[in-house]
């Protein structure tokens, strides 16, 4: 089997690409950037791809910040990993990078797609913050001659039913830019990762109306984790849940992250230790008092219910 992972919505991760760069506020506390910086010494897997920047005074976590260098690399020795994994799995492609980063060469993407097609027992989940290039790449594959060649070579119709393509958003601004582009992508499954949720999102407005939202198959929602995590207001998660219920879109509440509502924490276990309190602001609504317990204690129950739905 492939590399196991703590990411709740997949079984395994596959990283034939290493390296990335920030593109929006949701990247600020990226776990991948921190992991890469931690293993960036000479002779380590991410040497030359990330580093720690010294910021100043404060706690050890506050004194340094991980930074990508912007360089990306194809890791040849991991390119064919899924071919050796016989047990079917949901595989997150490039959990430590972005397949559609501008530094990723077209031929690298083609090689990765080739491996995906040659190991059809798996479901491949591709997530990007760069939907423009994803749209253009998939549009090129949709050319009748190209799609016919794909079907002839691999014996699968285009687009493959086991290839899922999604975009990450964190607030209304990123949703309004990225989601219309997602809807332009021809894919068997389209999905949204609303993580880290940093502000309210009217998903219906972002896609041009509630009647358009079922063009999306799956919505993942999650709060931010890590030492600099910002809290997610519960109303943001509820609004997303209610829209999915009204439109038939599958809803996956991944995590609260570092912070959870004070009332929910007390209901869960009034004796839980905490690491501070913070108000989660909600523009146009009431703020919510949040308590910091850490990701492993906050869990993934929203209003007492755990939602872990998948498309199909």
pLDDT, tens digit (0-9, with 9 covering 90-100), for 166-214: 999 999 999 999 999 999 999 999 999 999 999 999 999 999 999 999 9
Whether 62 maps to a domain, the answer reads yes
Whether 308 maps to a domain, the answer reads no
Whether 238 maps to a domain, the answer reads no
Q: Is the pLDDT of residue 5 over 90?
A: no
- 228's CB contacts (< 8 A; 6+ apart) are 28, 29, 61, 62
Computed over every residue of the chain, the mean pLDDT equals: 94
Q: Is the pLDDT of residue 58 over 70?
A: no
Residues 218-259: pLDDT tens digits?
999 999 999 899 999 999 999 999 999 999 999 999 999 999
Q: What angle do CA 152, 153, 157 make, to 5 degrees?
A: 60
As beta bridge partners, residue 73 has 18
What residues make up the domain containing 30? 20-71
Residues 83-103: pLDDT tens digits?
999 999 999 999 999 999 999
Whether 93 maps to a domain, the answer reads no
The SS3 of residue 224 is coil
Task: Measure Cα distances from 146 to 137, 143, 257, 299 in Å.
Answer: 12, 5, 42, 45
DSSP assignment, residue 207?
H
CA 177 to chain centre: 17
Q: How far is residue 108's CA from residue 111's CA, in Å, rounded to a whole number?
A: 5
Whether 26 maps to a domain, the answer reads yes
- 29's CB contacts (< 8 A; 6+ apart) are 196, 224, 226, 228, 229, 230
Whether 145 maps to a domain, the answer reads no
| Count: domains in the chain | 1
Whether 43 maps to a domain, the answer reads yes
pTM of this prediction? Answer: 0.95
Whether 53 maps to a domain, the answer reads yes
The DSSP H or E segment spanning 32 is helix 31-38
Q: If you search the block for the tokens 């993407």, which residue do you land on?
A: 109
């Amino acid at each position: 089997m492939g590399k196991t992972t703590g990411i709740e919505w997949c079984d395994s991760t596959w990283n034939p690409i290493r390296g990335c760069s920030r593109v929006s506020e949701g990247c600020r506390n990226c776990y991948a950037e921190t992991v890469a910086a931690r293993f960036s010494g000479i002779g380590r897997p991410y040497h030359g791809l990330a580093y720690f920047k010294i910021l100043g005074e404060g706690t050890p976590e506050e004194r340094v910040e991980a930074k990508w260098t912007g360089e990306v690399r194809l890791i040849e020795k991991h390119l064919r990993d899924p071919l050796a994994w016989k047990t079917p799995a949901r595989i997150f492609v490039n959990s430590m990078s972005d397949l559609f980063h501008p530094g990723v060469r077209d031929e690298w993407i083609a090689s990765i797609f080739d491996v995906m097609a040659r190991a059809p027992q798996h479901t491949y989940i591709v997530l990007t913050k760069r939907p423009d290039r994803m749209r253009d790449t998939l549009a090129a594959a949709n050319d009748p001659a190209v799609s016919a060649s794909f079907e002839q070579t691999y014996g699968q119709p285009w687009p493959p039913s086991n290839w899922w393509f999604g975009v990450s958003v964190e607030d209304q601004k990123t949703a309004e830019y990225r989601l219309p582009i997602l809807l332009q992508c021809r894919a068997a499954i389209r999905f949204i990762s609303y993580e880290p949720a940093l502000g309210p999102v009217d998903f219906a407005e972002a896609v041009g109306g509630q009647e358009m939202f079922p063009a999306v198959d799956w919505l993942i929602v999650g709060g931010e984790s890590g030492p600099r995590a910002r809290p997610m207001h519960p109303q943001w998660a509820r609004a997303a849940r209610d829209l999915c219920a009204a439109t038939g879109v599958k809803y996956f509440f991944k995590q609260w992250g570092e912070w959870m509502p004070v009332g929910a924490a007390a209901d869960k276990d009034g004796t839980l230790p905490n690491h501070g309190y913070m108000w989660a602001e909600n523009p146009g609504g009431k703020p919510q008092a949040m308590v910091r317990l850490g990701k492993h204690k906050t869990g993934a129950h929203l209003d007492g219910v755990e939602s872990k739905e998948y498309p199909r």
